[in-house]
Amino acid sequence: MQGADQNTTAFGHTVAELEGAELRIGIVQARFNAAITDRLAQSCLDELMLLGVAGKHIEHISVPGALEVPLALQALALQEKFDALIALGCIVRGETYHFELVANESGAGVTRVGLDHEIPIANAILTVENEAQAWARADEKGRGAARVAVEMANLLEDLS
């Protein structure tokens, strides 16, 4: 769609502006697979800055693993000072059913916190077959989480 308005979809729907100057963002990062989640976090933080979110308006905390992310998100949501939250983690498939348990439960928990507290949560908890897949996705997923958080925070503000 050459020449199309960058703020509308092919169906003419408006896309919320990616302007984060006035937003307060909370980030919860799982430390398990730390090298990968550190890359996710750095990409996310870099993108938030590019979108205008002030460093002083970002609270970045860490938890042991993906299963602990929803509880920390809930604690941040209860503070009622954030416009959006971001979940960062990496779950790599192993030889047991544990992968499915952690992936399903962490994802459901993140979704439940967002719905229960009416706050957008960008879920960038990677679920991958191997570390190579995680590394291949880390930068883009970190940046994407920042964009989703800013867009959804602005959208919910526009809808209220």
Tens digit of pLDDT for each residue in 37-51? 999 999 999 999 999
How long a stretch of residues is the chain?
160
Looking at residue 17, its pLDDT comes to 64
98 among known catalytic residues: yes
Mean of pLDDT values over 64-77: 98
**Two tokens at 129?**
């077959």
Which stretches does DSSP call E strand in the chain?
A: 25-30, 58-63, 84-92, 121-128
Q: Tell me the pLDDT of the chain averaged across its residues.
A: 92
List the catalytic residue out of 13, 57, 98, 117.
98
Per-residue pLDDT at 1 exceeds 50: no
Query: May I ask the CATH architecture of the domain 25-41+48-145?
Result: 3-Layer(aba) Sandwich (3.40)
Helix or strand or coil: residue 143? Answer: helix
What does the alpha-carbon distance between residue 114 and residue 153 come to, in Å, rounded to a whole number? 12
Q: Under a CB-based contact definition with an 8 Å cutoff, are residues 37 and 88 in contact?
A: yes
Read off the pLDDT of residues 117-151 as tens digits, 9 standing for 90 and up. Answer: 999 999 999 999 999 999 999 999 999 999 999 99
Locate the domains of the chain by residue range.
25-41+48-145
Per-residue pLDDT at 16 exceeds 70: no
Looking at residue 97, its pLDDT comes to 78
